[in-house]
Amino acid sequence: MATLSDSPVETHYRNCHICEAVCGLEIKVQDGQIVSVEGDKQDPLSRGYICPKGVAIKEMHGDPDRLRMPRRRTATGWQEISWSDALDYAADGIVDVQKRHGDDAVADFIGNAYGTVYGIMTHIGYLRNVLNTHNSASLASIDHISHLMSSALMYGHQYLLPIPDLDRTEFVVMAGANPLASNGSLMTAPGIRDRLKAIKARGGRLVIIDPRRTESAKLADEHHAIRPGTDAALAAAILNTMFEEDLVNPRALTRFLNGLDEVERVVAPFTAARAAEVTGINADAIRQLARDFAGAERAVWYGRIGTCAQTFGAITQWLFSLINIVTGNLDQPGGCMLNTPAVDLAQDPHIDPGRYNEWQSRVRGLPSFGGEIPASSFAEEMLAPGEGQIRAFVCIAANPVLSFPNGRKLDQAFESLEFMVALDPFITASSRHADVILPAVPHVECDHYELAFYSFAVRNVTKFIEPSIKASDAGMADWEILVALAERIAARKGISIEPTLSPAEMVDLALQHGHYGEAAGHPAALSLEKLKTSPHGIDLGPLQSRMPECLQTDDHQIHCAPDVLVNDLARLESDLFSSPKSDDLILIGRRHVRSKNTQTQNCQRLMRGPNLCTLFMHPDDLALRELHDGDIVRVTSTVGEVCLPVTSTEDISPGVVSIPHGFDHGRDGVQLSVSSQYPGVSANDLTDDRRVDPVTGMAAYNGAPVSVGPLAAN
Ligand code: SF4
């Protein structure tokens, strides 16, 4: 590598923080700047794989739009201020609102960084303890709460979350997931294309269920184009077929299953013939899929965002889990297994195991889960007057205007707030509403441990990541901001709080007392010191069977028929099977390998090339409306409209249209110089915050009814 500087080039190893694959990276640094980013061939999980977003970390780290110091809103614009002044100002504003309106008048939300920045996970509780509000939420309720809830109800803890044992399975069904674009989610599996190809190479089979013939579907042996929002009907029919045809064999699980008879009874009405009518998948194909899956020695049924962010998300994840259970594929090699993480979140007494419906949101009565309320309730909680109204907001590493349902309503709600704090390194569609912005130092300048994603990895691995670049003395890490803010709020409220350990010190304790620690008598005797001597990470082996010992239900059994989920089947019957069919087009989302939610669009390297933000529509639907490929069209829903170019493609089912999420950075006040050249539209200007899965309160991002017409119409 030729460089102009005489300074030495340092080599650092860390993980990519952009998506859940957490690929190992080899980063070369000179004079405090990244000069190259490559895949780390010695990373035990990613083995050198890297995608275009990982390479872009160099550009993202040097982004001139990134804030280096806090900003305060003034009558004449943003003013840079010191950390001390910014934290005092933030604490004053929060406490002032709470003193006048009560603690619940302040809400907080944590975005993706909950998983990607370990200091947020370790220290958010420190801040929340002093905020003392019922109005906390996180990305769980806009992304994966159905999965967490299914695990909490069936296995006793939200983080007992089984994932596909991808490297040993022979038959995988993936529903509502496009891992070739997302690189896997709730399943840390870097280089997933090769992992999926390997299944086929060893004689296995990949089945994709998705309304769109996605990149993953094109790799698959079989693709079923399902009608959006009907996955629960398909899953119930698969189970029904297995019971009817005597294919049920839970194998080793049998001795600790509770409620399987109840499952057989409640899925009985959902026959393959009836499911065919609502899903659009032929009844014979449903029955054959049930037989093939049950007949496979090592199989796993997996569902992700498309099956979660819909009106039946909770029962869908439950029924998918049951398919793995009744075929004996849960907790078995090649099936659906738990990771045995070196730091086990399910054993952390500070983490809520997933208590359900302890309280409800004020306006709509949506249920709490795991100590949080659904994010879909926030806009109305901010706008509806009355006791308990949210009047101030702490937005932590998130862009809710683009990622919550009905973003325009949230824009309006943010405008109505008395005070807002944003922990954000950029002035985005959301943080532009803040009174003060607190920008943490970037990931590559921080240490890190994959608390979340190593818990969902397809192999047991561990690694501690040290800073690749020394942070400026003036910078603060996310956890330091949380602690400093908590201390100031506590002082103003007269609350005493204990000093806290750093995230690294917490991880050290957890490692030593975890599955591979000295306290457990494990020969690896993991500790922070030991991990620091293995910068590429340590391979702890393939996934292991852990049940029933790890179960945290009262009776240490798997609860196959939780009441709240069983009872929701009545809604499936009434709303899906017994409702008249609509002629509306149905909107779904999509991912692209060059984009990750709202966080990668300010990077020229990723944004150049074909426009990613277009409407996918089937040629027959275009012809019906006398529209043509490339036209700018108007898409209208119950809550709003957007105008964007249309792409004609036979890959999407007739009657279904798709818009990627995370775009629309062109709003007034946003300071993202690259994104503003490629603004796109926000799919969440179309999603309705009132259209939720009532069991979880999660917004149904997929399945919104929309109409599409020419731009000139209206
Ligand atoms: S797949 Fe994800 S983790 Fe890996 S390099 Fe790409 S963005 Fe980073």
Ligand 1 mean position to 47 CA, how many Å?
Answer: 12
Mean pLDDT across the stretch 321-328?
Answer: 98
- pLDDT, averaged across the chain: 96
Please tell me the predicted confidence (pLDDT) of residue 124.
97
Task: Mention every residue, 6+ apart, whose C-beta is less than 8 A from residue 580.
Answer: none
pLDDT exceeds 60 at position 713: no
Please tell me the predicted confidence (pLDDT) of residue 113.
83
The share of the chain scoring above pLDDT 70, in percent, equals 99
Ligand 1 mean position to 50 CA, how many Å?
Answer: 6
Q: Which of 17, 22, 23 to mutate to test the pocket of ligand 1 (most atoms within 8 A of CB)?
A: 23
Ligand 1 atom 3: the closest Cα is on which residue? 22
pLDDT exceeds 70 at position 2: no
Q: Which of 53, 188, 596, 603 to mutate to test the pocket of ligand 1 (most atoms within 8 A of CB)?
A: 53
- Cα–Cα dist 313/123, whole Å: 30
**288 to each of 284, 291, 322, how far by Cα in Å?**
6, 5, 18
Strand partners, 383: none
Mean pLDDT across the stretch 398-404?
Answer: 96
**317 to each of 128, 300, 336, 345, 477, how far by Cα in Å?**
29, 13, 13, 21, 36
Least confident segment among 45-49, 225-229, 577-581, 604-608: 577-581
pLDDT exceeds 60 at position 457: yes
Please tell me the predicted confidence (pLDDT) of residue 185.
92
Please tell me the predicted confidence (pLDDT) of residue 112.
87
pLDDT exceeds 80 at position 18: yes
605 confidence band (pLDDT: 50, 70, 90): confident
Ligand 1 environment, Cβ below 6 A: 16, 18-19, 21-23, 50-51, 53-54, 183, 190
**pLDDT tens digit sequence for 182-214:** 999 999 999 999 999 999 999 999 999 999 999
Please tell me the predicted confidence (pLDDT) of residue 474.
83
Please tell me the predicted confidence (pLDDT) of residue 583.
81
Please tell me the predicted confidence (pLDDT) of residue 607.
86
Ligand 1 mean position to 68 CA, how many Å?
Answer: 25
- Cα–Cα dist 169/196, whole Å: 10
Ligand 1 mean position to 121 CA, how many Å?
Answer: 21
Ligand 1 atom 5: the closest Cα is on which residue? 54
- Cα–Cα dist 478/465, whole Å: 16
pLDDT exceeds 70 at position 446: yes
Closest by CA to 337, choosing from 160, 569, 201, is 160
262 confidence band (pLDDT: 50, 70, 90): very high
Total residues found in the chain within this entry? 714
577 confidence band (pLDDT: 50, 70, 90): confident
- Cα–Cα dist 687/373, whole Å: 19
Q: Which of 13, 47, 51 to mutate to test the pocket of ligand 1 (most atoms within 8 A of CB)?
A: 51
Q: Is 540 left (phi over 0), alpha (psi -120 to 50) or beta?
A: alpha
Task: Mention every residue, 6+ apart, whose C-beta is less than 8 A from residue 263.
Answer: 239, 322, 326, 560, 561
Mean pLDDT across the stretch 427-435?
Answer: 97
Least confident segment among 254-263, 294-303, 505-514, 675-684: 675-684
Ligand 1 mean position to 393 CA, how many Å?
Answer: 31
**386 to each of 389, 390, 520, how far by Cα in Å?**
6, 9, 52
Kindly report the three-state secondary structure assignment for every residue of 506-541: HHHHHHHHCCCCHHHCCCCCCCHHHHHCCCCCEEEE
3 confidence band (pLDDT: 50, 70, 90): low
pLDDT exceeds 70 at position 1: no
How do 558-559 and 615-617 pair as beta strands?
A: unpaired
Ligand 1 mean position to 40 CA, how many Å?
Answer: 12
pLDDT exceeds 90 at position 406: yes
Q: Which of 20, 49, 50 to mutate to test the pocket of ligand 1 (most atoms within 8 A of CB)?
A: 50
Higher pLDDT, 94 or 4: 94
Higher pLDDT, 597 or 273: 273
Q: Is 246 left (phi over 0), alpha (psi -120 to 50) or beta?
A: left
Task: Mention every residue, 6+ apart, whose C-beta is less than 8 A from residue 523.
Answer: none
**pLDDT tens digit sequence for 266-277:** 999 999 999 999
- Cα–Cα dist 224/211, whole Å: 8
**584 to each of 638, 689, 703, 706, 707, how far by Cα in Å?**
11, 19, 10, 6, 6
Question: Are 130 and 137 in contact, with CB atoms under 8 Å apart?
Answer: no
Atom from ligand 1 closest to the CA of residue 54:
5
Atom from ligand 1 closest to the CA of residue 55:
5
**pLDDT tens digit sequence for 347-369:** 999 999 999 999 999 999 999 99
The structure's pTM equals 0.96
Ligand 1 mean position to 348 CA, how many Å?
Answer: 28
pLDDT exceeds 70 at position 484: yes
Both tokens assigned to 673 = 């110089």
Ligand 1 atom 2: the closest Cα is on which residue? 19
pLDDT exceeds 70 at position 179: yes
Mean pLDDT across the stretch 632-647?
Answer: 97
Please tell me the predicted confidence (pLDDT) of residue 29.
97
